[in-house]
Structure 1
Amino acid sequence: MTPTSQQRPIGVFDSGIGGLSVLRALQAELPHERFVYLADSGHAPYGERGDAYVAARTHAITRYLQAVHGIKALVVACNTATAAAIHDVRTQCPDLPLVGLEPAIKPAVALSRTGRIGVIGTRGTLTSGKFALLLGSLQSQAEFVVQPCDGLAYAIERSTEHAVPDAAESSEVRELCTRYITAMGAFGTTAGHIDTLVLGCTHYVFAEEELRALIGPAVRLVDTGEPVARQTRRLLQATDLLADPGDEIPAACNRMQLITTGSLLPLQAAAQRWLQLPARCCSTATVPADGAGAMAHEANRALAQ
């Protein structure tokens, strides 16, 4: 039976497992919706690649999710991909409801009391024209300490390869967090200190424990998951695409399909750790860079171990 427009899934994608933090927020906000999440781990990390490469991957994944999974909306759960490609995707897919990410510095301005705000993100995000415009629009309202965190997203990605964190990989995440947070200066609630830290990469939510140990309990951490989930709900309502709240909530693997273009085991481990999803909800796929007509679905459902 062909699904109605309201029953079709919402597509969500990121360069890897970081977007699972956004998917978790979407799941909480929209319990009756179905989701297809694609981790482009076979082509990561995005944050240290050029805009042209990231834009090409974004277009290829958008075409794939439309052609193979019939998505009704797309959440680009990646700050780097949003900055590099979202305007072009909107132009090329005008009928596809689309939600992108940007570092949550607007909410941070409202929260900060010292007027000094830290922003951490990938170099690709923080050096983009889109971020420069956003930052410039708020420069008169606060002082921003912007810190690119080369390698951190990739280290977090590797740290989720096991259901129980590996000691060496966890140590690498801690060391990188320490290096970048230390470089930003003093954190705290007194005048002149950074009292609000914006997580400008979806991966960084999964290093919250390490970051909190460095900045202290009083500093606010701001990420984009919940605002993006609320915006997705508003957009679906405006386009009459919300799933019927009277429908039964689908079982886990009917509701959440997770796909990776890289190794399957890291996605399975991350899904189990962060979303409590069984391994059988995860599969692999090839998403070539050429046109939609050349794309064949190659997902292989993994058996639960």
Structure 2
Amino acid sequence: MSDTRPVLLFDSGVGGLSVLAPVRALLPQAPIVYVADNGGFPYGTKSEAEIAARVPALLGRLAERYAPRLIVIACNTASTIALPAVRAALDLPIVGTVPAIKPAALMSKSRVIGVLGTNATVRQPYVDNLSAEFAADCTVLRHGSAPLVELAEAHLRGEETDLADYAAALAGLFDQPGGKRMDMVVLACTHFPLVEDKLRAASPRPLTFVDGGPGIARRVAYLTEGQSWPEAPGEGLAVFTAPTGISEGLRSSLRRFGLGRVEML
């Protein structure tokens, strides 16, 4: 018998679509529920206490409603703060998202790495630990950019955005001591790979951008290996946690990621 339980991906907004894409590429038969917590957006400017209280409770409701086989917290901020609490509360596999510092350090020639994330993510001790474990011989620069999250949301709605705003986000890394030698930038917010082409165009010199999406997809494939899937999974479902107007631009972007249905929690 086929197993119709979905894979549920969760983010504060549309950023987790950058994780959904590689998951779909590896597991095209997987039914998908994608949840954007627009009722709590943005996470990056919230306190640790707010996120630690909101995310486990909300994921508990979502698990009860959609009965997923696995949950992906497709959000660096939520993962670095709330992942242990979510795993303790829910009896199913939980895959988190963490900054891709390890692969960046393996690839860096200059040994200067930038970590571009939300304000909440870049200040987490988790980032300190990753840097110490995998990039001890590197200079690791960090910059939190709330405007870049908004730019990614606007881009997915089909709105025009200014390259100067992307350049300003990168300047937060370039302008730090050692920034001019930086050759790798870790996109430590799932929103940011959605505008990687904009960041590349706005950069004053070539950079290599890395994110955790492909690694997360491989982890999901490993954890579901041997499980059955529906022969035809149908259109994916996009769920929003608060009433919102879905512009045609956003609806088009959701369809591009295989999310043809939309509902409110």
Does the TM-score normalized on the shorter chain lie above 0.5? yes
Q: Secondary structure of 2:146's partner?
A: coil
**In 2, Cα distance between equivalents of 1:25 and 1:141:** 30
Q: Secondary structure of 2:132's partner?
A: helix
1:291 aligns with none
Q: Is the 8 A contact 2:114 2:142 kept in 1?
A: yes
Residue among 186, 194, 206 paired with 1:198: 186
Which residue identity lines up with residue 207 of structure 2 in the other structure? V
Taking a change above 3 Å as real, the CA distance of residues 114 and 278 of structure 1, as seen in their structure-2 partners, is closer
Residue among 43, 47, 50 paired with 1:46: 43
Q: 1:62-77 residue pairs with structure 2 within 5 A?
A: 62-77=59-74
Residue among 260, 265, 268 paired with 2:240: 260
Q: Is the 8 A contact 1:15 1:43 kept in 2?
A: yes
**In 1, Cα distance between equivalents of 2:74 and 2:30:** 17
2:92 aligns with 96
- 1:118 offset after TM fit, Å? 1.2
**In 2, Cα distance between equivalents of 1:137 and 1:278:** 37
Q: Cα RMSD (Å) of the superposition?
A: 2.4
**In 2, Cα distance between equivalents of 1:129 and 1:197:** 19
2:220 aligns with 232
Q: Deviations over 1:249-282 (max 9, x none)?
A: 423x2xx11111241415x633522652688511
Q: Secondary structure of 2:79's partner?
A: helix
Say whether residues 1:243 and 2:228 are aligned partners.
yes
- Identical residues among aligned pairs (%): 30
Gaps of 5+ in 2: none
Taking a change above 3 Å as real, the CA distance of residues 105 and 279 of structure 1, as seen in their structure-2 partners, is closer
TM-score normalised by structure 2 residue count:
0.90
TM-score normalised by structure 1 residue count:
0.78
1:27 aligns with 24
Residue among 181, 184, 199 paired with 2:170: 181
- 1:160 offset after TM fit, Å? 2.7
**In 2, Cα distance between equivalents of 1:213 and 1:54:** 33
1:221 aligns with 209
**In 2, Cα distance between equivalents of 1:48 and 1:88:** 20
Q: 1:149-160 residue pairs with structure 2 within 5 A?
A: 149-160=145-156
> Which piece of structure 1 moves more, 201-210 or 257-266?
257-266
Gaps of 5+ in 1: 286-305
1:113 aligns with 109
**In 1, Cα distance between equivalents of 2:249 and 2:223:** 31
**In 1, Cα distance between equivalents of 2:206 and 2:167:** 18
Larger radius of gyration: 1
> Which piece of structure 1 moves more, 79-88 or 272-281?
272-281
Taking a change above 3 Å as real, the CA distance of residues 180 and 280 of structure 1, as seen in their structure-2 partners, is closer
1:288 aligns with none
Runs of 4+ in structure 1 deviating by more than 4 angstroms, as ranges, are: 277-280
Q: 1:124-163 residue pairs with structure 2 within 5 A?
A: 124-161=120-157
Q: Is the 8 A contact 1:271 1:277 kept in 2?
A: no
Taking a change above 3 Å as real, the CA distance of residues 159 and 131 of structure 1, as seen in their structure-2 partners, is same
Which residue identity lines up with residue 101 of structure 1 in the other structure? T
Q: Is the 8 A contact 2:17 2:257 kept in 1?
A: no
1:166 aligns with 159
1:296 aligns with none
Q: Is the 8 A contact 2:238 2:263 kept in 1?
A: yes
Q: Is the 8 A contact 1:205 1:223 kept in 2?
A: yes
